Homo-oligomer: A and B are copies of this chain.
């Protein structure tokens, strides 16, 4: 039962919501918005990916059931407002975002599995949960999309979700499978940040 994993990681889950929410507030900071807009962007970024996942698999939306997630988003928004963002904190945020993405790639796939979604769509759910909060943030805040960056990002989420689902199919327990998926996603994303890893770009002919 993949629920075990979800119950084993409540702190990680809240941490992921918090760091994604912080990146939303950062987008608001860039545009010098007011405190309410900080909270709004923090909330849609923090819970956006998980909300889409829950709608797709037919689960009750998680933050409606447990408003604590909204409180975590607001706390992230207020923190960014209060402390601002120096160069060191930007670097910290990049790494926290990697942590959140890795956690969500596994949590998203695990929750889909708990709702009897088959393997391929479950992997897609992991990727969507890990990436869609950031996509919504960039579209609404009119920031350059995280998807259009060159560095490996979606690929790391895909790796994490695939490792987790693959190991579960081979009969591995939820907890070690989850740790393996999380570690794989985090390691790949860390290399992408540190060494500017990217996949080869399309070199085919394009005429329009």
Contact check, B34 vs A155: say whether CB atoms are below 8 A apart. yes
Give the number of copies in the complex.
3
Contact check, B206 vs A84: say whether CB atoms are below 8 A apart. yes
Set of chain B residues within 8 Å of A11, measured between Cβ atoms: none
Report the interface size class on chain A.
35 or more
9 A–B contacts from the bound complex (CB under 8 Å) = A32-B203, A34-B198, A34-B201, A43-B124, A55-B55, A67-B120, A81-B204, A140-B147, A141-B147
Q: How far is the CA of A38 from the CA of B40 in the complex (A)?
A: 29
Which of A23-31, A100-108, A167-175, A177-185 is found at the contact surface with chain B?
A23-31
Contact check, A40 vs B206: say whether CB atoms are below 8 A apart. no
Contact check, A63 vs B121: say whether CB atoms are below 8 A apart. yes
Q: Looking at A61, A64, A198, which has the most chain B CB atoms within 10 Å of its CB?
A: A64
| Contact residues, A182-197 vs B (CB, 8 A) | none
Q: How far is the CA of A86 from the CA of B121 in the complex (A)?
A: 32
19 more A-B contacts (CB under 8 A) besides A33-B148, A87-B207, A139-B140? Answer: A26-B206, A28-B202, A29-B206, A32-B202, A32-B206, A35-B200, A40-B147, A55-B56, A56-B64, A58-B61, A67-B120, A70-B120, A70-B121, A70-B124, A71-B120, A83-B204, A84-B206, A85-B205, A142-B148
